[in-house]
């Protein structure tokens, strides 16, 4: 069962810029993460954008929906910034009702992968497992858990996603 992975940026792929001291984007870390995790799944990766999710617009979300619609794969994983992950999941759910035949899982990280102490590798592995076994619908996978898109929120005080 092939899995399509779409990269949109977010903390997952941020790096520390030594000259400015800011977090910035260069390239996605997904291929390295899959290699380090010894992933043996049939996956294909496509970078759609490399932005902070707070900068994501309705047009960006429409692009994500459109690319998911165009894919032949019925299992899609999207790496995404955590701040607006639920909003993008909402846009996807509007386009892909649970009866639509596609399982779409969004995941991200609270700490950049490049920092070494990131939750990104764990979240990626969990999301890859969930996208294979969950029924059609839109989900968020964080901290080893999966949530229906409309039954989750990011708790900004604790830094974890929790059920509503």
Q: What is the pLDDT of residue 51?
A: 86
Selected residue with higher pLDDT from 105 and 16:
105
How sure is the predictor about 16, in pLDDT bands with cuts at 50, 70 and 90? Answer: low
Q: What is the pLDDT of residue 32?
A: 82
For residue 18, pLDDT over 70 is answered with no
For residue 11, pLDDT over 80 is answered with no
How sure is the predictor about 155, in pLDDT bands with cuts at 50, 70 and 90? Answer: very high
Q: What is the pLDDT of residues 40-68, one digit of tens each?
A: 999 999 999 988 888 899 999 999 999 99
Contact 136, 102 (CB under 8 A): yes
Q: What is the pLDDT of residues 24-38, one digit of tens each?
A: 657 787 888 889 889
Q: What is the pLDDT of residue 14?
A: 61
Classify burial at 100, counting beta carbons within 10 Å of its beta carbon; exposed 0-12, middle 13-18, buried 19 or more.
Answer: middle
Residue 149 and residue 2: Cα distance in Å, rounded? 23
pTM of this prediction exceeds 0.95: no
- Cα dihedral sign for 78, 41, 71, 92? negative
Mean pLDDT of 98-108: 88
Residue 105 and residue 140: Cα distance in Å, rounded? 5
CA angle 33, 139, 37 (to 5 degrees): 15
Contact 131, 79 (CB under 8 A): no
Domains of the chain: 3-163 (3.40.50.1170)
92 φ, ψ (degrees, to nearest 5): -65, -40
């Amino acid at each position: 069962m092939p899995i399509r992975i779409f990269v949109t940026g977010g903390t997952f792929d941020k790096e520390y810029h030594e000259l400015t001291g800011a977090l910035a984007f260069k390239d996605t870390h997904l291929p390295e993460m899959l290699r380090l995790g010894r992933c043996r799944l049939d996956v294909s990766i496509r970078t759609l954008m490399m932005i902070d999710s707070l900068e994501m617009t309705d047009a960006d979300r429409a692009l994500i929906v459109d690319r998911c619609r165009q894919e032949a794969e019925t299992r899609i994983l999207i790496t995404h910034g955590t701040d607006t992950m639920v909003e993008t999941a909402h846009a996807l759910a509007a386009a892909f009702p649970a009866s639509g035949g596609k399982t779409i899982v969004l995941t991200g990280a609270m700490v950049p992968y490049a920092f070494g102490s990131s939750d990104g590798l764990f979240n990626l592995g969990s999301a890859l497992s969930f996208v294979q076994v969950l029924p059609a619908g839109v989900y968020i996978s964080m901290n080893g858990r999966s949530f229906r898109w409309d039954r989750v929120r990011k708790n900004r005080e604790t830094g974890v996603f929790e059920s509503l």
